[in-house]
Structures are given as structure tokens and as C-alpha cells.
Structure 1
Amino acid sequence: MSQAFAGRRVLVVEDESLVAMLLETILEDMGCTPVGPASTVDEGLQLVAEDAPIDAALLDVNVAGRQIFPVAEALKARGVPFIFSTGYGEGGLPDEWRGQPTLQKPFTEAAVREALMKAMGIVNV
């Protein structure tokens, strides 16, 4: 477990239950507290709207047939860093979201850790 992530609350929006469970396990192993997982865009928006702190978010780009961008906008408005996860990589994102940290599916625990560190501005310890 990395002290850099201890207690960090990370929102997960992912509609595939096996992927969501994998992300929860990876986050817990890193010392994070998973928030969610939300399996729809509306659930994700609801979790973002709550007062509970969110330190970062992992967002599946296509959630139950809907694009995740309303949740990304809400997080951006709150100043919460987020990472897109997609089978298409950054090339599958619309132009306005290019350059945002992106995890290519399937991903590894190391890739998730690295992306979160980058998004949260954590220096490798």
C-alpha cells in the first residue's frame, strides 16, 4: 500500500461489474477508498453532486450506452481530477477531451496507479 494514496477517495463510474470490482480491489490495495462504483451516468452525476469529498475519478467513457462527459464536466467544475478508461485509448475521445489522462483497456494495476499519480499530481514515492 502506498502512503501517497492512503485515504484518498476515488469515484469509479463503470458499467461492467467485473471491471468495477477489479478497480475497487486495485484502489483498496493502493490504500484508496473507492466511491461507488456507479454503473450509469446518472448515478455518477448523483455521487459528484453529493458533498462528500472526491479526490479523483476513474470514468469509463461509454457507460450503459451513454457517454460519460456530463460526469466529466461536473468533476471539472468541482476541480476534481479524473481519468477516462476506454478500449479505444485517447484516440477514441472527442477533440475537447484529448490530453485528459486516459487508461487503455484492458489495464493493469500499475497503469491505474500511474494514471492516478499523474492526475492527482503525486510525485512517485
Structure 2
Amino acid sequence: MRNFAGLQVFLAEDEFHVLQLIESVLLDLGCKVTDTVSSLPAALSRAVETEAQIAVLDVNLHGQLVYPAARILRDRRIPILFSTGYGGDGLQADWKTESVIQKPFAIGQMEAALAELLSTRKESI
């Protein structure tokens, strides 16, 4: 298993148990979860200030789409991994090029998604 030692992650997820599960997976992979939010207003606020290196965002936070916070993160050049039960089909058209992981997922799938996200990020720099 690859170790993402110290990789700082912003995590937005509205279901508490799913948030705990994703956080546990990220910690097992060596990541440091710097911010956790469960609502769009909190995501908007933290997106402006976070020092995270990547973001894992649930697309739907209590019925509100996370895209306004994602725009802030994208403008700040923080790579985004969308997390949704619908996979890539769950993303709006202008976000289809972003990385996505379909829930539920195994640790190996998160590991692969993070590795791909980081390799894509390095290629674009």
C-alpha cells in the first residue's frame, strides 16, 4: 500500500459515519485531514482558508451542491477528488474532467484515486 505521508486533505461529507470512514481511510494511507466540514456554508468558509493540498468533496451536502466551494478550491489550484454514489455520472457537465471516486469504495480505490490525482497535478505544473 502506498503511503501519502503528511498529505494534507480537506474533506467535505454530510453523513457523519461516511465522513468518519473516509477520514479513517485517509489516515490509514498516511494523510493528514486538516479540515472536515458537513455543510455548504462551512465548505465555502474553509475553502477560502484551508491549507490542504487536496480536497475530497461529497457532491451533495444536505441537498446543496458543493460546486461553489469547489470553484474556490479550483481557483486556489487545490486538486479536487469528488466523492459520490453516482460516480462520474453524478457530476455536472463542467466538472466531468475532475477526478471522482464512487461511494462506497475500498481503501485500494482511494489509494489509486489519490495517486492518479497527484500524478495529474504534477503533470499540469
- With normalisation by structure 1, the TM-score equals 0.89
Deviations 1:38-94 (A, max 9, x none): 0011111222211x4211011000001100001110110000001111111111211
Match of 1:54 in 2: 52
- 89, 94, 105: which one aligns with 2:87: 89
Structure 2: segments with no counterpart, 5+ residues: none
Q: In the TM superposition, what are the counterparts of 1:91-106 in structure 2 within 5 Å?
A: 91-106=89-104
Structure 1 ranges of 4+ moved more than 3 A: none
* Aligned counterparts of 1:55 and 1:63: Cα–Cα separation in 2: 21
Q: Which amino acid aligns with 1:47?
A: R
Q: Which amino acid aligns with 2:38?
A: S
What secondary structure is seen at the aligned counterpart in 1 of 2:101? strand
Match of 1:6 in 2: 5
Match of 1:16 in 2: 15
How many percent of aligned residue pairs carry the same amino acid? Answer: 36
C-alpha deviation, 1:35, in angstroms: 2.2
* Aligned counterparts of 1:108 and 1:9: Cα–Cα separation in 2: 20
Q: Which amino acid aligns with 1:79?
A: R
Match of 1:29 in 2: 28
* Aligned counterparts of 2:8 and 2:111: Cα–Cα separation in 1: 14
Q: Which amino acid aligns with 1:23?
A: I
- 107, 110, 113: which one aligns with 2:111: 113
RMSD of aligned residue pairs (Cα, Å): 1.7
C-alpha deviation, 1:2, in angstroms: 3.8
What secondary structure is seen at the aligned counterpart in 1 of 2:109? helix
Identify the range of structure 1 (107-116 vs 11-20) with the bigger mean alpha-carbon deviation.
107-116
Deviations 1:105-124 (A, max 9, x none): 1111111111111111189x
* Aligned counterparts of 2:69 and 2:116: Cα–Cα separation in 1: 20
* Aligned counterparts of 1:121 and 1:98: Cα–Cα separation in 2: 18
Deviations 1:11-33 (A, max 9, x none): 11000011100111111111111
